[in-house]
Amino acid sequence: MEREILLKIKNLKKHFNVGKNQILKAVDGVSFDIYRGETFGVVGESGCGKSTLGRTIIGLYNATEGSIEYDGIDLTKKTTSKENRDLTKRIQMIFQDPYASLNQRMKVMDIVAEGIDAHGLSKNSQDRAQTVVDLLNTVGLQEEHTNRFPHEFSGGQRQRIGIARALAVNPEFIICDEPISALDVSIQAQIINLLKDLQNKRGLTYMFIAHDLSMVKHISNRIGVMYLGNLVELTTSKELFKKPLHPYTQALLSAIPIPNPKIEKTRHRIILEGSLPSPINVKEGCKFSSRCAKADTICREKSPEFVEVEKGHYVACHFVK
C-alpha cells in the first residue's frame, strides 16, 4: 500500500543567535517524512532540539533554512492568509508542561473554546458551550469542570484540558511535545490510551516527542532518534528495538531496564560518558564522536550523512554502511 506523505521536512535548521557571534544550532539539518495516520516518535536527551523542531514545524519559530511541506504547502514560504487560517486549524500542538501551557486566569470553558472563537466555529454561545462540554467528555472530563480554573485540576486532568483545546478545531495533525513526562507513571498510561483512542476515532496523525525510548515504543509506528540538532537514526519502532544501528541508539536502548532479572544481570550495558555537549559553536565531524566508543579520526573530521542503509532504515554513522 502506498502511504500518503502528510509532512515532508527537508534539511530543516533552526539556529538561535545568542549574542557575540555565537550561534546555537538547536536544529541543524533534519530531514524526514511523516505519513498520514501514523505516530512518528522523536526521542533524544534534554536539549537535543526536540521542542525546537516541533515549534518550528508549527510556526512558533521561523526556520533558518530548509523546507517544511505540509500536504503540499511549503510552510517556510509565505502563505496566503486563507492558507494560514486553514493550517492553524489542521495542525495543533500539545505541550510538555500542562501547567505552564494553560492560561491560569481563564476558565476551562474559555481555554477550550479559544480555537473555536478564533475560527468562528460556533453559531451562538449555546452551541459553543455544548461543543466545549462534548470535547471535555471526549477527553474524560465533565460539564461541571467548565467553570473551574487550571489550578483546580491535577496534572493529568490539565493535560486532558490541553488535549481538548487542541481537538476543538478538529485538527488532523497533532505535535505532542512530551505530553506525559510531567505526569505520574500511573497517569501516563491513561493519557497515552486517550491519545491512541482519539487517533483511531479521528484518524489523527501524531508527532510524539519524548526523551525516553521506552515511552514512545508502543505508540510509535516509526521513531527518529535525535542527537544535538540532528537525526542519527530513523526506522520503524520494531526495527529500532530489534536492530539499532547507531551507537547512540544502542546506548539509549541499553539504558532501559529489562524486567527479567536474569537477562538484566548478564546483558551488556553501554555507558554514555559525559553529557550532551553545548550546541553553541559545535566542532567539525560527527557530533556524537566525543562520547562514542567507536569514534575514529574520520568521525572527528567529517560529519556522516544520513543514509538509507536498509529499506526505510536511515542512519548517520561512518561505521554503518
Ligand X SMILES: Nc1ncnc2c1ncn2[C@@H]1O[C@H](COP(=O)(O)OP(=O)(O)OP(=O)(O)O)[C@@H](O)[C@H]1O
HSE-up (13 A, CA, CB side) for residue 190 = 15
51 binds Mg ion (CB under 5 A): yes
Q: Total number of residues binding ligand X (CB under 6 A)? A: 14
Binding mask 218-247 for ligand X (x = CB under 6 A): ------------------------------
Q: Which of 23, 35, 36, 47 is in the footprint of ligand X by CB under 6 A?
A: 47
Backbone angles phi, psi at 110, to 5 degrees: -75, -30
Q: Which of 66, 115, 224, 279 is in the footprint of ligand X by CB under 6 A?
A: 279
For ligand X, the closer of residues 39 and 52 by Cβ is 52
Q: Which stretch binds ligand X (CB under 6 A): 45-53, 151-159, 243-251, 287-295?
A: 45-53
**Least CB distance from residue 47 to Mg ion, whole Å?**
8
Grid coordinates belonging to 85: 487560517
State the DSSP code for 289.
G
Q: What are 73's strand-pairing partners?
A: 70
287 binds ligand X (CB under 6 A): no
Q: Which of 39, 51, 157, 249 is in the footprint of ligand X by CB under 6 A?
A: 51
Q: Which stretch binds ligand X (CB under 6 A): 46-54, 124-132, 153-161, 296-304?
A: 46-54
Binding mask 85-114 for ligand X (x = CB under 6 A): ------------------------------
Residue 247 binds: one of ligand X, Mg ion, none (C-beta under 5 to 8 A by kind): none
Q: Which of 30, 38, 39, 52 is in the footprint of ligand X by CB under 6 A?
A: 52
Binding mask 194-213 for ligand X (x = CB under 6 A): -----------------x--
DSSP code per residue over 204-255: -EEEEEES-HHHHHTT-SEEEEEETTEEEEEEEHHHHHH---SHHHHHHHHT
Q: Which residues of 122-152 are buried (b: 16+ CB within 10 A; e: fewer)?
A: beeeeebeebbbebbebbbbeeebbeeebee
Q: Which long-range contacts (CB under 8 A, 24 or more apart) does 20-27 make?
A: 22/280, 22/281, 23/280, 23/281, 24/279, 24/280, 25/229, 25/279, 25/280, 25/282, 26/52, 26/229, 26/279, 27/52, 27/53, 27/56, 27/229
60 binds ligand X (CB under 6 A): no
The residues of the shown chain that bind Mg ion, judged by CB under 5 A, are 51
The residues of the shown chain that bind ligand X, judged by CB under 6 A, are 16, 18, 24, 26, 44, 46-52, 211, 279
